[in-house]
A and B are shown apart, each in its own frame.
Chain A
């Protein structure tokens, strides 16, 4: 085979030596609805063209006709591997616009949930990288612990995947003693499993051979492509929203931001692993801080904002005030100031931003989600050019692409 082949020859030309291959939209190796039209020379990818939008659900348009609390379930369905981060990010955006201050305890409870969600997301991503390089067992080991995380969510909000967790101002109810027990169980058991997972992969000859140098990106290109989150940090840029613009009292916590050097699949894997350890440490710190809150604030789980926070149901039946607020909030008749606000949180795969323009109506005038994986997926064509098809699959799973977030 010659080194240079004209990949632009039309279909049916007998001079054409490359093959057009459709990977996706539904393909067992892509973990979601992704289509790539690849031009293949043997097993080598000459060019790839990504097609997105197969599960587009018009979230931004929907949000223009919904009161704030009805937008929370929409955010669930962005990155559905870590819904609590999306929910809480949305609540923080609303609180910024409405000028609500939350108590420290609420911030720490939120930090616990967001870090649990980050662990759930990273463990899926890393174990899927394992599956795509041919090691299924790591996936089975860790999946069990995602289940434990989901049980904690269930104890707090009643659902598991699309959580709709929390309210503007805090949570709908306090964490139950069972939730704390489940959290303790998770904190006790997970480190052992994660260590075991690392032992299986990090120095595994086959895994290292498959991932080192696979889909690398330089820091300059990564920044130019708008990479954020673990993928950017793997390229060597220590940008983390939790550190740069702390929200929900992240400034009270002590943690390191891991960075890689080459931005390849192996570095992305390592960065995610270290972040899981850091998240565990943050959860433990938050737990300690909550234990140390004494006195009147020891059981507080929402800010005192009756205009925006649904009253307790028993009060609705007995007090006029609560009844009025209940109806006003459910009908979406809350007072919203005019203004535009951009708020971002460190999602599990990058900077998740909300750009919210309010014109004083009951619904957003315009709401835009900055979805990290939509932004960095466009680099995929460049990342896989010239690599083997099987490497292209590994690169895709190591980027932590979530179809729901990609298509919004």
Chain B
């Protein structure tokens, strides 16, 4: 009996109650979020539970939503249950002024470089990471380039604003 999204959702709701929320299934992949303090508890539960068995961290990255006050940065985990072949997506949101998130390196060795990359580009501060320093950018860099306040174009160009890209007016 293969694992269904409904079963996963019920299991999570049973364990964490109201803490896990915003369940949806874009393109069939169960997506939900939890408070950032609970990220390790949720990951550990998903890892340990004998029916869920989400023991493969496919990917980890961040997304910047500048207009969402208090939850500007999302950290997204893609997890995979290789036995039942089910993927889920798990998100936590954090304030950009205090982007402290617990590290998943104790659970997944692979999170090491993924978190370094996320720190490098978005400035998410992974608490407890063994070696949190820049990985792809130069060490001297003093900003986090993937945040939306850094536009790609030359600052002197006025013609290439967001309206050109279907997003109306100023930086969203």
Which chain A residues have a beta carbon within 8 Å of chain B's beta carbons?
52-53, 56, 58, 60-62, 64-65, 96-97, 221, 223-226, 237, 239, 244-245, 332-333, 336, 339-342, 344, 351, 353, 355, 357, 359-363, 365-366, 368, 370, 374-379, 407-408
Interface pair B165/A363, CB less than 8 Å apart: yes
Can you add 15 more A-B contacts, CB < 8 Å, to A62-B152, A378-B110, A408-B136? A52-B136, A53-B136, A61-B145, A64-B152, A96-B27, A224-B110, A226-B108, A336-B166, A342-B78, A353-B58, A359-B167, A362-B165, A363-B165, A375-B113, A376-B110
Q: How far in angstroms is the closest Cβ of chain B from A218?
A: 12
Question: A96: which B residues are within 8 A, CB to CB?
Answer: 27
List of A residues within 8 angstroms of B136 by Cβ: 52-53, 56, 407-408
Q: If the complex has contacts A56-B137, A224-B110, A225-B110, are A244 and B85 also in contact, measured as CB distance less than 8 A?
A: yes
Option from A244, A362, A376, A408 in Cβ contact (under 8 Å) with B166: A362
Contact with A along B132-172 (1 / 0, CB 8 A): 00111110000001100000110000001010011100001
B110 touches A375 (CB 8 A): yes
Would you call A341 and B26 a contact (CB within 8 A)? Answer: yes
Inter-subunit contact A225/B85 (CB<8 Å): no
CA distance A64 to B85 in the complex (A): 31
Query: Nearest chain A CB to B170's CB is how many angstroms away?
Result: 14
Once the chains bind, are B27 and A224 in contact (CB under 8 Å)?
A: no
Determine how close the nearest CB of chain B comes to the CB of A367; give it in whole angstroms. Answer: 10
Closest to B131 in A: A49
Complex: chain A residue closest to B108, CB-CB:
A224
Residues of B within 8 A of A379 (CB): 109
CB-based contact A342/B145 at 8 Å: no
Q: Please name the residue on chain B nearest to A67 by beta carbon.
A: B165
* CB neighbours of B27 from chain A (8 A): 96-97, 339, 341-342
Give B contacts to A, CB under 8 Å.
26-27, 29, 31, 55-59, 61, 63-64, 76, 78, 82, 85, 87, 89, 108-110, 112-114, 117, 121, 134-138, 145-146, 152-153, 160, 162, 165-167, 172
Selected from B61, B108, B152, the residue in CB contact (under 8 A) with A61 is B152
Report the separation of the CA atoms of residues A361 and B85 in the bound assembly, to the nearest whole angstrom: 32
Q: Which residue in B110, B114, B146, B160 is a CB contact (below 8 Å) of A60? A: B146
CB-CB nearest in chain A for B87: A342
B145 and A58 contacting across the interface, CB-CB below 8 Å:
yes
- What are some 12 contacts across the A-B interface (CB < 8 A)? A223-B55, A225-B110, A226-B110, A244-B85, A342-B59, A357-B63, A361-B167, A363-B165, A366-B64, A374-B117, A375-B110, A375-B113
**Closest A residue, CB atoms, query B78:** A342
**Measured CA separation A228–B87 after assembly (Å):** 15
By the criterion CB–CB under 8 Å, are B153 and A65 in contact?
A: yes
Task: Specify which of A56, A366, A375 is in contact with B63 (CB 8 Å cutoff).
Answer: A366
In the complex, are the beta carbons of A360 and B166 less than 8 A apart? yes
Taken together as a complex, chains A and B put the C-alpha atoms of A323 and B119 apart, in Å, by: 45
Find the B residue at minimum CB distance from A64.
Answer: B152
Contact status B87-A363, CB under 8 Å? no
CB neighbours (8 Å) of B29 from chain A are: 342
CB of B107 to closest CB in A, whole Å: 9
B residues in contact with A62, CB < 8 Å = 152
Contact A368 B61, CB 8 Å, known A65-B152, A226-B110: yes
* Smallest CB gap from A377: residue in B: B113
Is B58 a contact partner of A237 (Cβ separation < 8 A)? no
- Whether A355 lies near B165 (C-beta < 8 A) is no
- Shortest CB-to-CB span from A219 to chain B, Å, is 11
Question: Are A53 and B166 closer than 8 Å at their CB atoms?
Answer: no
Name the B residues within 8 Å of A361 (CB-CB): 162, 165-167
Within the assembled complex, what's the spacing in Å between the Cα atoms of A134 and B166? 56
**Which partner residue on chain A sits nearest B110 by CB separation?**
A226
Bound CA–CA A245/B87 (angstroms): 10
Q: Which 3 A-B pairs have the closest CB atoms?
A: A226-B110, A53-B136, A362-B166
CB–CB A378/B61 < 8 A: no
Contact B165 A65 (CB under 8 A): yes
Which single member of A225, A368, A408 contacts B59 (CB below 8 Å)? A368
Given A65-B165, A360-B166, A361-B167, do A378 and B112 touch, yes or no (CB 8 Å)?
yes
Question: How long is the Cα–Cα vector from A376 to B58 in the complex, in angstroms?
Answer: 11
Q: In the complex, which residues of chain B have a beta carbon less than 8 angstroms from the beta carbon of A363?
A: 165-166
Chain A contacts for B117, CB-based, 8 A:
374
Look across to chain B and name the residue whose beta carbon is closest to the beta carbon of A223.
B56
Measured between C-beta atoms, what is the minimum distance from A60 to chain B in Å? 6
Rounded to whole Å, the gap between the CB of B136 and the closest CB of chain A is: 4
Output the nearest chain A residue to B63 by Cβ-Cβ distance.
A366
A311 to chain B, nearest CB (A): 22
Question: Is the CB–CB distance between A355 and B78 below 8 Å?
Answer: yes
Do the beta carbons of A374 and B113 come within 8 Å of each other? yes
Contacts of B112 in A (CB 8 A): 378
